[in-house]
C-alpha cells in the first residue's frame, strides 16, 4: 500500500454548505407561490432549497399563517406559540369592568381584579367545552403587573400597616377612594352580561360581573348619540380652510388603476378626492387609458406608466410627494399590471404611506395576502363577494352570513389588525379590536362606480385623520374614523342623487353631490 497523499500546504478543505433557514415572511411568500399553482420543484429552485423542504413548509402552513396573524415578527425564523386569544378578550373585559367600577365609585384592589379576570377566563373555557385548547390561567401577580402596563393603569399603594402588592388600588388617571366595600355582595348581586367585541358573554352564572358596554361596540344599530359622537370625531380631523396654506397641504392623493377596459373607475376615485377637499389627484394608469381619463377632467394629473417596463421607478419618483395611495380602481387582472401594483404597494409600505385597496387590488391581496399582512396603515374596502374571497383565502371556510360583524373582525385580525370595510346594506368597519357599523341612510339604487367614490374620499380622509393624531380622534384608530366618514359621505351622496334622479341615478350624479353632502354631514 502506497503512502498517503499529503495535502498541499496552504490549501483548505471546501467549506461545509450552510443550511438555509427561512424567516416567516419568506415562508408565507413560498406558500403563496404554491397556492398560485406553481409546483414544489419550481418553488424549491426559486428559493434554492430542496423539494422536501418545500413540502415540509406546506405541511406547516396553518401554524405559519397563525403565527403571522398573531403578529409574530416577519423576520422570525422559528414559530412561537401565539398568545391565547381568550386571554386578550378577558383582559379587555376586565379593563372595562375596572373602568365601570371607578365610574361608580367602587374601588378595586389587585386581588379583586385578578379574581375577576380568572372567573371570566374560566367561564370562557367552560363554554368552549371538552375540545377547549385554552391553557390554565392563574391571574398571577406577574400577569397583573403586565396587565397594568398594557392598559396604562395607574396604581396607588395602600397607606397603612399591611400595605403590600396585593393592596394596590387600581384607578384610572387619579387616586381611587380608600374605603373598600366590606364584601363584594353588591357586585355578586349585579348579574347581567358583558358586551365584548365581537360577541356577547352571558355572565348570569359568573359572580361579580357588572353590565358593561364598550363605546362603539357592535349593536344591531348605533344609537343617534353614538352616531353623532363618531361624526364629531370625523369633523375634528377635517383641516380648516385658511389663506395661509399652500397647494398640496390638504392632500396629494395617488390612484393606481386604469386600463383599456376600465377608465371610469380611476376617474371617479380621483375626482371624488378633489371634490372632498384634496388639493391634487394623480392617476397612474396604462398608456392607452391615459388620454381617455385625461379627457374626463383637466383637473387630474395623469401618468401613463402602469404598463411601462419601468413602472416601479416611474411611480417611486412621485411617492415622496403623495400622502395616500389608492390601489385598484380600474386596475384589471392583467398579470403585468398586478405585478406592478404589487411593487407600488411594497414601496408605499417602506415609506409608511397609508394605502387604500379596492376592486382588483383586493383580487391581488386574495392571491398574495402576505403582501399587506401586518401593515396597519392599509385599509381594505371589499364588497360582499370580494370579502368572501379574502375570508376563504385566510380561513379556508366560507363566511358566516349570520355573524358578519365577527367575520369582519376575524379577517382584520388575521391580516394583522389592518382596517377592513365590508360594504353592503350596512357598512361594517373593523381594525381587529373594534367594530363600527355605518347605517347612514342611502338608497336602494346600486350603480357601478360608487365604490370608487368611497375609495377616493377615503384616501383623503385617511390622510387627514392620520395627520390629525390621536388627540383629535379621542384615542380612536384614525383609519376607523376615516372609514366611517367616507362610508357616511358615500351614502349621503347616494341618498341626495336618488332623491333627484331615482332609478336613473348614476355615479356621475353622486359625484356632483359630494360638496353638499360633505357640508351637510361635517360642516353643520
Asked if residue 277 has pLDDT above 70, the reply is yes
Rounded Cα distance, 301 and 251, in Å: 14
Is 488 marked within a binding site? no
Is 449 marked within a binding site? yes
Is 425 marked within a binding site? yes
User: SS3 string of 358-381?
Assistant: CCHHHHHHHHCHHHCCCCCCEEEC
pLDDT, one tens digit per residue, over 170-218 is 443 333 333 333 333 333 233 333 333 332 333 333 322 322 222 233 3
CA-based angle 287:293:299, to the nearest 5?
120
Name the pTM for this structure: 0.61
Is 386 marked within a binding site? yes
Is 91 marked within a binding site? no
Q: Which of 60-74, 281-295, 366-380, 491-505 has the lowest mean pLDDT?
A: 60-74
Packing angle between helix 404-414 and helix 384-395, nearest 10 degrees?
60
Is 445 marked within a binding site? yes
**Any residues with CB less than 8 A from the CB of 274 and at least 6 apart, and which?**
280, 281, 299, 300
Is 423 marked within a binding site? yes
Decide which of 222 and 353 is more confident.
353
Is 444 marked within a binding site? yes
Is 150 marked within a binding site? no
Is 312 marked within a binding site? no
pLDDT, one tens digit per residue, over 37-56 is 889 898 888 888 888 889 88
Is 392 marked within a binding site? no
Is 447 marked within a binding site? yes
Is 469 marked within a binding site? no
Please return the burial class of 124, using the count of CB atoms within 10 Å of its CB with bins 0-12, 13-18 and 19+.
Answer: buried
Is 400 marked within a binding site? no
pLDDT, one tens digit per residue, over 427-461 is 999 999 899 999 999 999 989 999 999 999 999 99
Is 515 marked within a binding site? no
pLDDT of residue 148: 81
Amino acid at each position: 500500500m502506497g503512502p498517503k497523499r499529503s495535502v498541499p500546504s496552504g490549501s483548505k478543505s471546501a467549506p461545509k454548505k450552510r443550511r438555509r433557514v427561512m424567516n416567516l415572511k419568506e415562508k408565507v411568500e413560498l406558500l403563496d407561490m404554491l397556492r398560485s399553482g406553481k409546483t414544489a420543484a419550481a418553488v424549491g429552485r426559486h428559493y434554492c432549497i430542496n423539494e422536501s423542504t418545500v413540502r415540509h413548509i406546506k405541511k406547516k402552513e396553518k401554524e405559519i399563517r397563525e403565527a403571522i396573524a398573531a403578529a409574530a415578527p416577519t423576520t422570525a425564523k422559528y414559530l412561537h406559540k401565539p398568545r391565547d386569544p381568550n386571554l386578550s378578550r378577558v383582559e379587555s373585559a376586565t379593563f372595562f369592568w375596572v373602568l365601570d367600577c371607578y365610574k361608580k365609585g367602587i374601588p378595586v384592589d389587585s386581588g379583586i381584579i385578578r379574581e375577576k379576570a380568572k372567573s371570566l377566563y374560566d367561564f370562557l373555557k367552560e363554554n368552549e367545552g371538552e375540545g377547549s385548547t385554552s391553557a390554565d390561567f392563574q391571574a398571577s401577580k406577574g400577569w397583573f403587573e403586565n396587565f397594568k402596563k398594557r392598559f396604562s393603569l395607574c396604581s396607588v399603594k395602600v397607606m397603612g400597616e399591611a400595605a403590600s402588592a396585593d393592596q394596590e388600588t387600581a384607578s384610572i388617571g387619579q387616586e381611587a377612594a380608600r374605603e373598600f366595600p366590606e364584601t363584594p355582595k353588591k357586585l355578586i348581586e349585579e348579574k347581567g352580561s358583558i358586551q365584548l367585541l365581537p360577541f356577547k358573554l352571558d355572565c348570569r352564572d359568573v359572580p361579580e360581573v357588572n353590565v358593561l358596554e364598550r363605546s362603539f361596540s357592535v349593536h344591531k344599530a348605533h344609537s343617534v348619540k353614538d352616531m353623532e359622537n363618531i361624526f364629531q370625531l370625523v369633523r375634528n380631523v377635517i383641516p380648516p380652510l385658511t389663506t395661509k396654506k399652500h397647494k398640496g397641504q390638504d392632500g396629494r392623493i395617488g390612484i393606481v388603476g386604469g386600463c383599456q377596459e376600465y377608465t371610469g373607475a380611476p376617474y371617479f376615485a380621483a375626482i371624488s378626492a378633489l371634490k372632498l377637499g384634496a388639493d391634487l389627484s394623480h392617476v397612474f394608469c396604462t398608456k392607452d387609458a391615459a388620454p381617455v381619463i385625461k379627457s374626463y377632467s383637466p383637473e387630474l394629473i395623469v401618468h401613463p406608466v402602469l404598463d411601462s417596463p419601468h413602472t416601479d421607478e416611474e411611480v417611486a419618483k412621485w411617492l415622496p410627494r403623495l400622502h395616500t395611495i389608492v390601489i385598484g380602481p380600474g386596475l384589471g387582472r392583467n398579470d403585468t399590471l398586478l405585478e406592478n401594483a404589487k411593487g407600488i404597494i411594497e414601496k408605499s409600505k417602506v415609506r409608511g404611506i397609508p394605502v387604500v385597496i379596492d376592486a382588483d387590488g383586493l383580487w391581488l391581496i386574495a392571491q398574495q395576502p402576505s403582501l399587506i399582512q401586518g401593515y396597519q396603515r392599509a385599509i381594505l374596502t371589499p364588497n360582499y363577494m370580494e370579502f368572501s374571497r379574502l375570508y376563504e383565502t385566510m380561513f379556508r371556510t366560507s363566511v358566516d352570513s349570520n355573524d358578519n360583524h365577527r367575520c369582519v373582525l376575524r379577517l382584520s385580525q388575521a391580516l394583522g389588525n389592518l382596517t377592513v370595510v365590508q360594504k353592503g346594506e350596512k357598512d361594517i368597519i373593523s381594525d381587529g379590536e373594534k367594530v363600527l357599523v355605518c347605517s347612514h341612510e342611502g338608497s336602494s339604487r346600486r350603480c357601478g362606480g360608487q365604490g370608487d367614490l368611497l375609495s377616493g374620499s377615503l384616501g383623503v380622509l385617511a390622510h387627514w385623520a392620520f395627520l390629525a393624531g390621536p388627540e383629535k380622534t379621542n384615542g380612536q384608530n384614525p383609519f376607523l374614523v376615516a372609514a366611517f366618514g367616507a362610508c357616511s359621505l358615500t351614502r349621503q351622496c347616494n341618498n341626495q342623487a336618488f332623491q333627484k334622479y331615482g332609478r336613473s341615478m348614476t355615479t356621475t350624479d353622486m359625484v356632483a353631490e359630494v360638496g353638499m353632502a360633505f357640508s351637510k354631514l361635517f360642516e353643520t
